[in-house]
Amino acid sequence: MPGLEGVDQYPGHLEAQASLHLIFFLWGYIKNFVYAEKIRNIQHLQERITSAIETVTRGMIQKTWQEIEFRLDVSRATNGAHIEKY
């Protein structure tokens, strides 16, 4: 993952990367939802954030974790070598 150069020298680095993938996914999803319309004030921003969080489903989280687990398995199997996924 870009920005994590050198992290592979630490135990658990793949699991840390997996957690970051989930965080980035959620942040991107919420941000896109919140800013889909112009924010008028702080109260409106709070309402949009709350609404966005309420739309995150258990299925979305499970699917994201499945993708992360797949990437971890591939990374372990290839000893961290870069591969193309089509």
pTM comes to: 0.60
Of the spans 2-6, 19-23, 45-49, which averages the highest pLDDT? 45-49
Domain membership of residue 2 (yes or no) is: no
Domain membership of residue 8 (yes or no) is: no
Domain membership of residue 11 (yes or no) is: no
Domain membership of residue 84 (yes or no) is: no
Q: For position 71, what pLDDT does the model report?
A: 78
Phi, psi of 79 (to 5 degrees): 55, 35
Total of domains in the chain: 1
Question: How far is it, in rounded angstroms, from Cα 4 to Cα 9?
Answer: 11
Q: Is the C-alpha dihedral spanning 71, 77, 80, 85 positive or negative?
A: negative
Domain that includes residue 41, residue range: 20-77
Domain membership of residue 41 (yes or no) is: yes
- Nearest to residue 46, comparing CAs of 28, 58, 57, 30? 30
Domain membership of residue 1 (yes or no) is: no
